[in-house]
Amino acid sequence: MNPQPATTTRAVPECHDDVCITCSDAAVAVRIREVLAGGLAIVDTDAGPEEVSVALVDAGPGDVVLVHAKEAIAVVEKRS
């Protein structure tokens, strides 16, 4: 018997039109609206707000980050 790997789940807001803008095949530049606990943030997209991970970058509200697959991978612009 092979044990199944442990999985973790977290609540994620529903995607717009069954596809999250930040889960597309391309990275998208978005502005951080609010930083949440656990390395998460709410960002503004053309389709509305989405929750993404900002655990890999040093960014805060007002900063623009490059997001791919719900993960911020680079800071494009820091808020002054």
Residue 64 domain-assigned (yes or no): yes
Q: What is the pTM of this model?
A: 0.70
**Number of domains the chain is built from:** 1
**DSSP for 8-31?**
-----PPPGGGS-GGGSSS-EEEE
Domain that holds residue 30: 18-77
- Residue keyed to tokens 């095949």: 25
Domain with 32 in it: what CATH number? 2.30.30.140
Reduced to 3 states (helix: H, G, I; strand: E, B; else coil), residue 38 is: coil
Residue 47 domain-assigned (yes or no): yes
Q: What is the pLDDT along the chain (80 residues), one digit of tens a residue?
A: 555 544 444 444 555 555 566 666 788 999 999 999 999 999 999 889 999 999 999 999 999 999 998 999 999 999 97
Residue 6 domain-assigned (yes or no): no
Nearest Cα to Cα of residue 41 among 56, 23, 26, 27: 56
